[in-house]
Amino acid sequence: MPVKRNPCPSKVILHYIATYGVGILLANGVRSALWDDGEMQFDAHHPWLYPPDMTAAAQVQREMAQRVIHEDAFSGPVEAIGGVDVSNNLRDPENLVYAAIITLQYPHLKLMQTGTHQIKARLPYVPGFLAFREVPALVHAYAQLNPKPDLMLVDGQGISHPRGLGIASHIGVLLDCPTIGVAKSILVGKPEGEPGPLPGDYVPLVWKGNTIGSVLRTKLKTNPVYVSIGHRVSLTTAIEWVMKTCTRYRLPEPTRFAHQAANQFRQGTAIASSMQQSLDI
């Protein structure tokens, strides 16, 4: 049964509107008001998107982590599943990030739509803070999707993060959308043993005495993936959805498609830029 979220008091809503405008309303228990007259609006100074420095970024993560819902809180049946990933070249002097969110129809996992956006990252590449480089572009990509996904699988960490807020949790809280973190490596924590050899076998990922995720085998004779709560999805349900969306590959189809889309977007943008430079000469 879906968890009922308490509505936010009107004084808090008015405080956010007065402070940040209607562009971004980020209050616990309220769907983020990123829309104004049907269009998503963006506050270029909101600290949840653009903290002024790394100290502020760490504090934002601690605050947002307190808003993560660790239980199932879906708005309805899952019919559209999003996949989220970014692509970038760390040697790019312009520090550009290329984001992609794709939507697959469930249960057939057929591609429905793709949203992409390119942005210049404002913060340096520092492990544990990558969401602040990537989420602004992802929010713009999300704005292009209609309908919005009922659930998003994100290539990266959820609560399996030093401050409990990896990119899957960050974008989940920001957009108030159910999200799952599906990572290819461990950021923090230690597996309690080795998962069995069969698809669906898993062991807990533990850090400081708490289970922060699962080490999940999705395919025979392949390395496991690291699944964690993003937002509004329990760990048990997160594992189920990862397995439901895995077909022939180690990675679930939503993040696999998103990875391809982000890389194609980056490569296509680079080719277009090169062609334009040639025309300008």
- Hey, where are the domains in the chain? 69-277
Whole-number percent of the chain with pLDDT over 90: 73
* Residue 188: pLDDT band with limits 50, 70, 90: very high
Q: Which long-range contacts (CB under 8 A, 24 or more apart) does 133-136 make?
A: 133/88, 133/97, 134/86, 134/97, 134/99, 134/167, 135/49, 135/167, 135/170, 135/171, 135/174, 136/42, 136/49, 136/50
Mean pLDDT within 152-160:
98
Instruction: Supply the pTM of this predicted model.
Output: 0.84
pLDDT given for residue 272 in this prediction = 52
3-state class of 189 per DSSP? coil
Mean pLDDT within 114-121:
95
pLDDT digits (tens, 9 = 90+) for 219-256: 999 999 999 999 999 999 999 999 999 999 999 999 99
Mean pLDDT within 258-273:
83
- Backbone angles phi and psi of 267, in degrees to 5: -65, -40
* Position 209 pLDDT exceeds 60: yes
Mean pLDDT within 171-199:
97
Encode burial over 123-143: b for 16+ CB neighbours within 10 A, e otherwise. Answer: beeeebbbbbbbbbbbbbbbb
Whole-number percent of the chain with pLDDT over 70: 80
* Position 277 pLDDT exceeds 80: no
* Position 3 pLDDT exceeds 70: no
The whole-angstrom separation of Cα 118 and Cα 222 is 33
* Position 129 pLDDT exceeds 90: yes
* Position 33 pLDDT exceeds 80: no
Amino acid at 219: K
pLDDT given for residue 90 in this prediction = 78
* Position 57 pLDDT exceeds 80: yes
CA nearest neighbour of 179 among 141, 200, 140, 149: 149
The first and second tokens of residue 259, run together, are: 């990875």
What 8-state DSSP symbol labels residue 7?
P
CA nearest neighbour of 97 among 85, 79, 111, 105: 85
The whole-angstrom separation of Cα 42 and Cα 36 is 10
* Position 279 pLDDT exceeds 60: no
* Position 54 pLDDT exceeds 90: yes
**Alpha helices (H) in the chain, listed in sequence order:** 10-20, 54-65, 131-143, 167-175, 235-244, 253-280
**Alpha helices (H) in 44-117, listed in sequence order:** 54-65
The whole-angstrom separation of Cα 119 and Cα 165 is 22
The first and second tokens of residue 56, run together, are: 């502020």
pLDDT given for residue 248 in this prediction = 94
Residue with more model confidence, 99 or 93: 99
pLDDT given for residue 218 in this prediction = 98
* Position 113 pLDDT exceeds 50: yes
- In CATH, 69-277 is 3.30.2170.10: yes
* Position 120 pLDDT exceeds 80: yes
pLDDT given for residue 8 in this prediction = 33
Q: What is the mean pLDDT of the chain?
A: 85
